[in-house]
Amino acid sequence: MVTFLSGGTGTPKLLAGAREVFDPADLTVVANTGDDIELGGLLICPDLDTVLFERGGVLDRERWWGIDGDSTTTHEELRDLSERAGFETGPRYLTDERQTDGPRFTRWRRFSGVGEFMTIGDRDRAVHLLRTSLLSEGHTLTETTNRLADAFSLDISILPMSDDPVATMIHTPDEVMHFQEFWVAHGGEPAIEDVEFRGAEHADPTTEVLDALADPVIVGPSNPVTSIGPLLALDGVPEALAETTVVAVSPFIGDDLFSGPAAKLMEAMDTEASTAGMAESYPFADAFVVDERDPTELGRPTITTDIGIDSAEDSERVVEAVADALALVGAA
């Protein structure tokens, strides 16, 4: 049994080649939910959905989010209708009072659907509608995700990191904003003073997550701050990782990042934006997979390969390096 920690696009790209190296029946993915938002009354779970869509064979692999070939009729009509009604199409984060007066699973994540600032496909929207409806009926996010995994015929287990709400909030010099507003609406441009995982102090990993963390764990080439950080903020998770075997894949080549806002976020958290900084962020890691061009000395067992992932073959190569790293530290 092997567990992947997933957030953003790094780990899903890695998972694309995992079935060639590991038996899918032995794989569990624990996905970040700090990026989740409620938009127009629907709960959107980007990191869960990327895994659902990738393993379900419908992911748009050009963008690495959303469903391939999806239409956006409802999204376009909603934006057009909003503009004709006199509203702008930027993000409309609800007031602090309204952040906590709705369903508990939406706390600190609530945006109005007016002007819909995120592009939501029509088939994608159906997933969010079903998820939100099941949650409203009283099902947990774990139970709901399991039903969606069945609907997409997944051959692996997928778990949200918690059934409790956690929201990644970016503190800028001018305001505090949800990560999706920072990244989608503002393109990651605002200066960052701090990153907050709001609600983490009241959130717990589920029993299913803690059980999965007892198996060898692979941290994919994800953003250490906003993709993996929310999971590490949960009580008991760092301790569980310290007790098991962990292999982490670097998203850097030295201090060069493949994609995304990780460098800016790490620097804001006073962590070097580099492979060395990634290793510092994961003191529980027993071994690493880094790029063969990376000169960084980590002082822990390391396997090197070309860690660029642009195809299924690339993914399989990196997953094979991960299996070698697990063997190196006695976990395979």
Q: Annotated binding residues, as ranges?
A: 49
| CB-facing half-sphere around the CA of 228: CA atoms within 13 A | 24
Residue 324, both tokens: 């070698």
73-81: long-range contacts (C-beta < 8 A, 24 or more apart)? Answer: 73/122, 74/120, 74/122, 74/125, 75/116, 75/119, 75/120, 75/121, 75/122, 75/125, 78/40, 78/113, 78/115, 78/116, 79/115, 79/116
Q: Which residues lie below 8 Å from residue 61, measured CB to CB, with a gap of 6+?
A: 68
3-state helix, strand, coil in the chain (%, to 5): 40, 20, 45
Residue 65, both tokens: 């989010």
**Kind plus residue range of the DSSP H or E element containing 155:** none
Cβ-contact 262, 273 below 8 angstroms: yes
Cβ-contact 302, 264 below 8 angstroms: no
